[in-house]
Amino acid sequence: KGGSLALYGKYYAVLLSFFSGIIILIFGILQLGFLIDFISIPVIAGFVSAAAITIASGQIKGIFGIKIEEKSETHAGLVDDYIDIFENIDTVKLNDTILGLVCAILLLSLRALNRTNWFKPITDGEDSSA
């Protein structure tokens, strides 16, 4: 059931990552970075957004501790993940959910805190009493 992709999928992912790294290394050695100027910004933004959505969607079942016994096979890509999540919503683990959400909130709070001026060093020209 699932064929060779289900059997060798993890190995294909590793192989694809390896070849991507080799191609990037060759482009770097040959100084072909200027080729990215020929790809429009909306295309790059769309690619990055799609990658972010795909990665975030793949993490949802982990953050809620959902155990998926049988994966759906509609071959709809990202939709399959959400079908599996909603079909197995009764397997949500409360402790995993609380830990995952608290960690996500903590990380987002630390990123927001880093963007404030509260912890920036005071220069000599600034008033230190404020």
13-44 pLDDT tens trace: 889 999 999 998 999 999 998 888 888 899 98
For 122: left if phi > 0, alpha if psi spans -120 to 50, otherwise beta; the answer is beta
Task: Give the pLDDT score at 5.
Answer: 64
Question: What pLDDT digit, counting tens, does each position of 32-90 carry?
Answer: 988 888 888 999 899 999 999 988 888 888 899 898 888 877 777 788 888 888 998 99
Eight-class DSSP state of 121: P
How far lies 100's CA from each of 14, 25, 71, 74, 96, in Å? 27, 36, 23, 28, 6
d(CA 114, CA 102): 18
Residue 12 identity? Y
Q: Is the pTM of this model over 0.85?
A: no
pLDDT at 75 (0 to 100): 72
